[in-house]
Amino acid sequence: MDMVHILEAQLDFVERTNPSGKPTVQGYNIINGQLTSASDGSTFESRNPGWLDDVVGVFPQSTRSDVSDALAAARQAFAAWAATPAPTRGQIIGNMGRLLIEHKDAIVALETREIGKTLKESAGSVQEAIDTCLFFQSEGRRLYGQTVNSELPNKELFTYRRPLGVCGIINACNFPAAVPFWKMIPAIMCGNTCVWKSPQDAPMLSFALARIMHQAGLPDGVINLVHGKGSGAGQYLIDAVDEGKVNKISFTGSTEVGKMIGEVCGRNLVSCSLELGGKNPLVVMPSADLDNAVEGAYWAGFGTAGQRCTSLGNLIVHESIYDEFLERFMAKVKSTRIGDSLRHDNVLYGPMLSEKYANDFLKGVEMCKEDGATHLFGKGRIQSDNAPENFLGVAEEGVYMWPHVFVDVDESMRCFHEEIFGPAVTIVKATSFEHALHLANASPYGLSSSIYTNDRMEAYQYKIGIKAGMTSINNSTTGAEAHLPFGGVKGSGNGTRESGIWVIEAYSYWHAVNDELSGKLQLAQMDVDEIEMVEAQIDWTQLA
């Protein structure tokens, strides 16, 4: 295909018959506003994990040359975009939010088709992208610096926020609308340009969102989209840090890959934002409303089939209520409705995000068994001959998993410490509040956390004692809002944050300016008049 500008191109379709009756889209990279194929012509397919024979789209397997072209386009666009008034940049971002509102239903259905999330959850992901746009459209009018008083006469001091340059954006596929907007919207609001490597399992949604961004008035080259594997296009983008072509990397994914990216950025003194894994603890204390705690733990563990970085990891229950809580919790687990929400109503979760995520999850289940944890519930991958009572549909059509529960878990086990990305909860018994807090802090992660208690002192001690980036009191471990900082500590990240005004720090640097008006050289610290103290003959002890 000859290069066509994104605003002039209609959707292209691949001739094939899908069992869903829906079309297969021919996807492209978007480089400098042009639709392009891979330089070597290679492609890959995006398949619906709830109906594997349904091919959503065919996309370029980007080469190193393609990524280099995208970086060059971003570099070329940077000067003009950085010089664009921040309120104007905000207006374009606002347009993006309004277009997402206009096309929300279609985008939600596409997200569900491509990654298998329920329609309700996909709607939440898209709404988060909308909220991010509507929040940051006005931040363009609040990209404040300061005026600072000088210690010298006839001099003015100022601070300004400046953009970093070209940002490499890499996000996971579980929140393919919300997370890239968390990253790119503040990035471009600050005046940066971006090269976005789409998730391999969500290229179609990324392609649609990038087209909406350009429809909103985004100039060519400000956001460039490339598709491909993490080991391909993603690695090429990281390699470009060593080549001096990237000024910022923002990555959401595994801790292992995040550490590698941090090393590359560190040796080049390049800023990176790393939002990584979690083994998120949820504590239930005797004073808690047990029904509320069960609902929160159930959702945190099995919503999105447990495929959130904030999903429940270790469920820590006080021994005095352990049996009663477990009975209620297991009743909820056994009632779980699972299926494709495009075809069935009121399902809690759908398929795994892809075959790869399914295989990795099953390895995590085997780890729990090898550790000696008691396997209370769950039978691995759902098949027609072993389906749970409330599974809807034909199991072999997609990648569906049972909900899994393991009990008798303790600190000596790998499954206590390692993230299991999928519908599995490990349950730990605590003997006291102090023990529960210790257990909550004992994993190498520190992303999200939660406690259910109606004892205000316990709630206070938990929120000041927990080592986590986020804590909920009487709510689940999941959930984020566009105006609240999102991120973790320890193995969950490098301290940077997504969302809210705090994320601006990640995509700008402070520029200090001193404006000398005196017409002569004045030296700070050296030319400052020294003020001598005056002796006073007063005995202050007379007043004591």
Instruction: Answer yes or no: pTM beyond 0.85.
Output: yes
pLDDT tens digits, one per residue of 116-157: 999 999 999 999 999 999 999 999 999 999 999 999 999 999
Q: Is the pLDDT of residue 461 over 70?
A: yes
The structure tokens 């500008």 sit at 5
**Of 53, 2, 6, which Cα lies nearest the Cα of 32?**
6
Query: Given this model, what pLDDT does residue 542 score?
Result: 86
Q: Where are the alpha helices (DSSP H) in 268-420?
A: 290-302, 322-334, 355-371, 414-417
Instruction: Return the structure tokens found at 52.
Output: 């594997």
Query: Given this model, what pLDDT does residue 394 score?
Result: 96
The pLDDT-based confidence of 368 (bands split at 50, 70, 90) is very high
The phi, psi pair for 142, rounded to 5°, reads: -130, 30
- Distance CA(454)–CA(184), nearest Å, equals 40
Task: Give every CB contact of residue 370 below 8 A, 6+ residues apart in sequence.
Answer: none
- Distance CA(461)–CA(447), nearest Å, equals 18
- Active-site annotation holder among 133, 173, 265, 309: 309
pLDDT tens digits, one per residue of 38-56: 999 999 999 999 999 999 9
Domain 4-276+499-506, second-level architecture = 3-Layer(aba) Sandwich (3.40)
The pLDDT-based confidence of 250 (bands split at 50, 70, 90) is very high
**Average pLDDT score over residue span 251-274:** 97
Instruction: Return the structure tokens found at 300.
Output: 């945190």
Query: What CATH number does the domain located at 280-482 have?
Result: 3.40.309.10
Q: Is the pLDDT of residue 426 over 60?
A: yes
**Average pLDDT score over residue span 372-399:** 96
**Of 239, 230, 231, 233, which Cα lies nearest the Cα of 268?**
239
Query: Given this model, what pLDDT does residue 18 score?
Result: 85
The phi, psi pair for 454, rounded to 5°, reads: -110, 15
- Distance CA(302)–CA(207), nearest Å, equals 29
Query: Given this model, what pLDDT does residue 480 score?
Result: 83
pLDDT tens digits, one per residue of 490-502: 999 999 999 999 9
In the chain, CATH 3.40.605.10 covers 4-276+499-506
**Are 112 and 119 spatial neighbours (Cβ–Cβ below 8 Å)?**
yes
**Of 180, 226, 213, 261, which Cα lies nearest the Cα of 69?**
226
pLDDT tens digits, one per residue of 261-271: 999 999 999 99
In the chain, CATH 3.40.309.10 covers 280-482
Q: Is the pLDDT of residue 319 over 90?
A: yes
The phi, psi pair for 456, rounded to 5°, reads: -65, -30
- Distance CA(360)–CA(343), nearest Å, equals 26
**Average pLDDT score over residue span 313-318:** 98
- Distance CA(477)–CA(304), nearest Å, equals 13
Which of residues 541 and 447 earns the better pLDDT score?
Answer: 447
pLDDT tens digits, one per residue of 289-309: 999 999 999 999 999 999 999
Mean pLDDT of the residues in the chain: 96
**Average pLDDT score over residue span 102-116:** 97
The pLDDT-based confidence of 379 (bands split at 50, 70, 90) is very high
**Average pLDDT score over residue span 165-175:** 97
Task: Give every CB contact of residue 16 below 8 A, 6+ residues apart in sequence.
Answer: 24, 55
**Are 272 and 183 spatial neighbours (Cβ–Cβ below 8 Å)?**
no
% of the chain with per-residue pLDDT over 90: 93
Helix (H) or strand (E) holding 76: helix 64-83
Helix (H) or strand (E) holding 208: helix 203-215
Q: Is the pLDDT of residue 1 over 70?
A: no
- Distance CA(303)–CA(312), nearest Å, equals 10
**Average pLDDT score over residue span 205-229:** 98
**Are 44 and 58 spatial neighbours (Cβ–Cβ below 8 Å)?**
yes
Query: Given this model, what pLDDT does residue 540 score?
Result: 84
The pLDDT-based confidence of 238 (bands split at 50, 70, 90) is very high
Query: Given this model, what pLDDT does residue 515 score?
Result: 96
**Of 136, 15, 202, which Cα lies nearest the Cα of 210?**
202
Q: Is the pLDDT of residue 354 over 90?
A: yes
Q: Is the pLDDT of residue 337 over 90?
A: yes
pLDDT tens digits, one per residue of 415-425: 999 999 999 99
Q: Is the pLDDT of residue 535 over 90?
A: no
Please name the amino acid found at residue 374: T
Please name the amino acid found at residue 274: L
Whether 309 is catalytic: yes
